[in-house]
Amino acid sequence: MRGVTDTFSTHELLTGFAVTAATVTVVFVLTFVVARAVGRYNVIDVTWGLGFVAVALASFLWSSGHGEDTQRVLVLVLVAIWGVRLGGYIGWRSRGHGEDPRYAEMLERAPGRETSYALLHIFVPQSAAMWFISLPTQVAMYERDPWTPMLVVGGVVWLVGFGFESVGDLQMARFRGDPANKGQVMDRGLWHYTRHPNYFGDACVWWGLFLVACAQWQGLFSVLSPVLMTWTLAAKTGKPLLERDLAKRRPGYAGYIERTSGFVPRPPRSADRARTH
């Protein structure tokens, strides 16, 4: 355990960046091999959560002796709980299904070989995003301050996010598991207040980890990591692509969009307000 007078291990952190970049590369190469073997590229969605765990573990091991031990363990545990749950849930949800419609649509536009297109447009961008988004967890591993208010605040934000994500996924799984709900729009529980409680929770998890990294001022430099995660979920490949697909297949989804917040939870609009919005 180190005291507050110790300095931040900048050299070790920069070296650790190379280690985690290599870790991400190995994870995605193995994922690509598996995807080719099973004939489905959506196995990368399972890797998404588990890959962050691999990065956190590599950073944890490399930072040994250079960071405050309690914080290092806490960050690893928080990332592991989030990543294992997410990877396990996506793996369970996708069992028995074919390719994800999002990837199928992308591959239909492939001008050349599908394999090369998938590698360059799915695997490379996601591997780069994983490394960049994980920067707060990497920085936090090298901080040498003991417990700080930011550590507590970050932990609370992480807990709120994890609760939204896990409870939202559980509610959706139960909804889909009831044959009476086939073709219906899920607008109960947390889904009554936001169309994407899982995405909102995911964003909060990474804002929480960023706040943990801000226990020392160096963590501020990783602010673009949760920004990228939030933007991706709310405006890029998360919400927009999913809602475009659902609007085509679910007759009542347009009305659900009008009355329900797209990301940040809030009470739904009344029918009159929804029509005039």
Same domain flag for 68 and 27:
yes
Question: Which pLDDT does position 240 carry in this prediction?
Answer: 75
The answer to whether residues 215 and 150 touch, using CB atoms and an 8 Å cutoff, is: yes
Q: Which of 116, 144, 172 is the last residue of a domain?
A: 144
Number of domains in the chain: 2
Which percentage of the chain shows pLDDT scores above 70?
A: 95
Residues 140 and 151 in one domain: no
Between 159-173, 195-209, 226-240, 244-258, the lowest mean confidence (pLDDT) is in 244-258
| 152 and 137 housed in the same domain | no
Dump pLDDT digits (tens) for 28-48. Answer: 999 999 999 988 899 999 999
Residues present in the chain in total = 277
pLDDT band at residue 148 using 50, 70 and 90 as cut-offs: confident
User: Final residue of a domain: which of 144, 176, 203?
Assistant: 144
Same domain, 6 and 54: yes
Task: Please state the pTM of the whole predicted model.
Answer: 0.90
Q: Rounded to an integer, what distance in angstroms lies between the CA atom of residue 170 and that of residue 185? A: 16
- Identify the band that residue 276 occupies on the pLDDT scale cut at 50, 70 and 90: very low
Above 70 in pLDDT, residue 62?
yes
Mean pLDDT for 234-253 is: 77
Based on the fold, state whether residues 134 and 170 are members of the same structural domain: no
Q: Are residues 4 and 126 in the same domain?
A: yes
CB neighbours of residue 246 within 10 Å: 17
Give yes or no: residues 226 and 136 share one domain.
no
Residue that finishes a domain, picked among 112, 144, 176: 144
pLDDT of residue 135: 97
Is a pLDDT exceeding 90 seen at residue 264?
Answer: yes
pLDDT for the residue numbered 160:
98
Question: What is the pLDDT of the chain when averaged over all its residues?
Answer: 89
Per-position DSSP letters for the chain, written without gaps between them: ---TTSPP-HHHHHHHHHHHHHHHHHHHHHHHHHHHHHT-GGGHHHHHHHHHHHHHHHHHHHTTTTS-HHHHHHHHHHHHHHHHHHHHHHHHHHTT--S-HHHHHHHHT-SS-HHHHHIIIIIHHHHHHHHHHTHHHHHHTT----S-HHHHHHHHHHHHHHHHHHHHHHHHHHHHH-GGGTT----SGGGGT-S-HHHHHHHHHHHHHHHHHTTSGGGGGGTHHHHHHHHIIIIISSHHHHHHHHHHH-TTHHHHHHHS-SSS--PPPPHHHHHH-
The answer on 89 and 124 residing in a single domain is yes
The reported pLDDT for the residue numbered 271 is 55
Give the pLDDT score at 252: 83
Beta carbons within 8 Å of 3's beta carbon, 6+ residues apart:
144, 146
Q: How confident is the model at residue 2 (pLDDT cuts 50, 70, 90)?
A: very low
Residue 104: give the domain boundaries: 1-144
pLDDT at 273: 52
Over pLDDT 90: what percentage of the chain? Answer: 65
Q: Please give the C-alpha separations between residue 232 and each of 17, 200, 202, in angstroms, as whole numbers.
A: 22, 11, 11
User: CB–CB of 113/199 below 8 Å?
Assistant: no
pLDDT of residue 56 exceeding 80:
yes
